[in-house]
Chains A and B, each alone.
Chain A
Amino acid sequence: MRLHHALHILVFALAIPQIVKSQSDLLDMLTQEEEPLTQYTIATFKGTRIVSGHTVETQAEGVLQFLIGHRFGRLNAGWRDLFGLDNATVRLGFDYGVTDNLNLGFGRSSYTKVYDGHIKYRLLRQRYGAKPFPFTVTAMASAMIRSDLRPFGNIDVPIRSRMYYTYQIMLARKFGDWLSIQVTPTIVHRNLVQLASDKNSIFSLGLGSSVKLTKAMRFNAEYYMILPSNQILSEIQGEKVRNAFSFGIDLETGGHVFQLHFTNAQGMHEKFLASETTGRWLNGDIHFGFNVSRVFTIYDRYAKREKREARKKTTL
Chain B
Amino acid sequence: MKNIPLLLLCFALNVYLSYGQIYYTSNGEITFYSHAPIEDIEATNKQVSCAIDIKEGKIAFSMLMNAFQFEKALMQEHFNERYVESHKFPKATFEGLIKDLEDVSLSKAGSYNIEVEGKLTLHGITKTVKSRGTIKVGIDKNVSAKSTFVVNLQDFKVEIPTMYIDNISESIEIKVDVKLKPKS
Do the two shown chains form a genuine complex with each other? yes
A interface with B by C-beta (< 8 Å): 3-4, 7-8, 10-11, 14-15, 18-19, 21-22, 25-27, 29-31, 33-34, 37, 39-43, 59-63, 97, 177, 215-216, 253-255, 295, 297, 300-303
Q: Which of A10, A18, A33, A62 contacts B26 (CB 8 A)?
A: A33
Q: Which of A25, A62, A216, A254 contacts B167 (CB 8 A)?
A: A254
> Which B residues are CB-close (under 8 A) to A303?
71
With A37-B90, A254-B167, A301-B73 given, is the CB distance from A27 to B64 under 8 Å? no
Complex CA–CA separation, A215 to B90 (angstroms): 18
Complex CA–CA separation, A21 to B18 (angstroms): 7
Q: Which of B4, B17, B52, B64 contacts A22 (CB 8 A)?
A: B17
Further pairs besides A7-B7, A43-B81: 11, Cβ < 8 Å: A14-B14, A15-B10, A29-B19, A33-B26, A34-B49, A37-B90, A42-B77, A43-B77, A59-B73, A255-B72, A302-B69
Q: Is the CB of A33 within 8 A of B7?
A: no
B139 contacts the other chain (Cβ, under 8 Å)? no
> Which A residues are CB-close (under 8 A) to B80?
42
Complex CA–CA separation, A33 to B10 (angstroms): 24
Complex CA–CA separation, A14 to B58 (angstroms): 25
B178 contacts the other chain (Cβ, under 8 Å)? no
Closest chain B residue to A129 by CB distance?
B90
Complex CA–CA separation, A41 to B66 (angstroms): 11
From residue 79 to 136 of chain B, which have CB atoms closer than 8 A to chain A? 80-82, 86-88, 90, 93, 95
Task: Render B1-14 as a binary contact track against A, CB cut-off 8 A, 1 for contact.
Answer: 10110110011001
Q: Is the CB of B59 within 8 A of A30?
A: no
Q: Is the CB of A253 within 8 A of B17?
A: no
Q: Is the CB of A15 within 8 A of B14?
A: yes
Complex CA–CA separation, A189 to B67 (angstroms): 42
Q: Is the CB of B73 within 8 A of A63?
A: yes
> Which A residues are CB-close (under 8 A) to B37?
none
* Residues of B in contact, count (CB < 8 Å): 46
B interface with A by C-beta (< 8 Å): 1, 3-4, 6-7, 10-11, 14-15, 17-19, 22, 24, 26, 49-53, 58-62, 64, 66, 69, 71-74, 77, 80-82, 86-88, 90, 93, 95, 161, 163-164, 167
Q: How far does the Cβ of B69 sit from chain A's closest Cβ, in whole Å?
A: 4
Closest chain B residue to A19 by CB distance?
B14
With A216-B161, A297-B73 given, is the CB distance from A29 to B14 under 8 Å? no
Q: How many A-B Cβ pairs are below 8 Å? A: 111
> Which A residues are CB-close (under 8 A) to B77?
42-43
Q: Is the CB of A255 within 8 A of B11?
A: no
Complex CA–CA separation, A181 to B75 (angstroms): 24
State the main secondary structure of chain B at its contact with A: mixed
Q: Is the CB of B22 within 8 A of A39?
A: no
Closest chain A residue to B94 by CB distance?
A27
> Which B residues are CB-close (under 8 A) to A60?
73-74
With A11-B10, A22-B17 given, is the CB distance from A27 to B62 under 8 Å? yes
| A/B interface sample: 12 pairs, CB < 8 A | A7-B7, A11-B3, A15-B11, A18-B11, A27-B93, A30-B49, A39-B90, A42-B87, A43-B77, A60-B73, A63-B73, A302-B69
Complex CA–CA separation, A140 to B17 (angstroms): 58
> Which A residues are CB-close (under 8 A) to B88?
177
With A18-B15, A255-B74 given, is the CB distance from A26 to B60 under 8 Å? yes
Closest chain B residue to A176 by CB distance?
B87
Q: Is the CB of A295 within 8 A of B74?
A: yes
With A42-B80, A42-B81 given, is the CB distance from A253 to B26 under 8 Å? no
